[in-house]
Amino acid sequence: MRIVVTDLTRMQRGYVCVAGVDLDQRRHVRPVLGDTRLPTSVLARHGGPFDLATVVELATNEPTPVRPKVEDHEFSPRQAKSVERMEPAAFWELLTALARPRLGAIFGPDLRKRDGGGATVRSGAGRASLGCLAPSRRPELYLKPRERGSDQVRMRIGDGDAELDLSVTDIRLYGSDHVTPDPEAMQRVSERIAGGTGLLLSVGLTRPFSSSPSSPPVHWLQVNNIHLEDDPTCRLGSESRLRRLVRLIFDF
């Protein structure tokens, strides 16, 4: 199976989530390692095959769908190979063909709005956990301060049916630790959004977790990646030799 990477998201320090589109079937695919999280070593900047708009051959893969994560395919990172980088026009055309104007058209009626502007799907429900949204109005990217830990990158979006306030996990908006937001990257993206640049959003559902001890685990909606028409194949890019040396020495 060959996929083109459309989603590249941060998780906890040292881990990432990757997703793409099967170029033959035009369906979303999430390469997974069973119950093990993907390490950052799978990223192209660390010698792995995965970066945005990159075509990757998954030599071995096994569908492991569990609703709503129907796109999961278990694979072997050692056998995954980067094939080529998709041209910007072709990548944007693919995203546009996949995009839907409503979140309900992507995730189905099991997607429920929550207090505070979030949205969730309960475990075992939903018809998808990945999709591409063409928002009905200009979204607002902003930084939410937190008392503990790093500030949170968030986005206010509307699809004509609901107004939501979602976490943004686009790895390009964070520093090299994939935890600390990058203010300069956020500023560049915010200015292009406000300036009217064509925009599509990769959206997805998290693994299930509880927002409080008394709440059952649910899958939360988030913005995986922000795609801008003037540079749709903007990649995470390479890590400098100095930065790589520091990271290897200090495990940072």
Contacts of 44 (CB under 8 A, 6+ apart): 50, 51, 54, 82, 235, 236, 238
* Residues 99-123: tens digit of each pLDDT: 999 999 999 999 999 999 999 999 9
At residue 246 the predicted structure's pLDDT band, cuts being 50, 70 and 90, is very low
For the chain, how many structural domains are there in total?
1
Q: What are the CB-based long-range contacts (under 8 Å, 24+) for 206-212?
A: 207/69, 208/123
H/E stretch holding 105 reads helix 103-107
> Which helix (H) or strand (E) is 218 found in, with range?
strand 218-228
Residue keyed to tokens 């080529």: 84
SS3 content of the chain, % helix, strand, coil (to 5): 20, 40, 40
Listed in sequence order, the residues at least 6 apart from 187 whose beta carbon sits closer than 8 Å to its beta carbon are none
Residue 127 CA to residue 108 CA, distance in Å, equals 6
Domain extent, residue 187, equals 2-250
Three-state secondary structure call for residue 237: coil
pLDDT band at 60 (very low <50, low <70, confident <90, very high): confident
Q: Can you tell me which residue has the tokens 């956020």?
A: 186
pLDDT digits (tens, 9 = 90+) for 144-175: 998 888 899 999 999 999 999 999 999 999 99
Specify the residue for token string 């995730």. Answer: 107
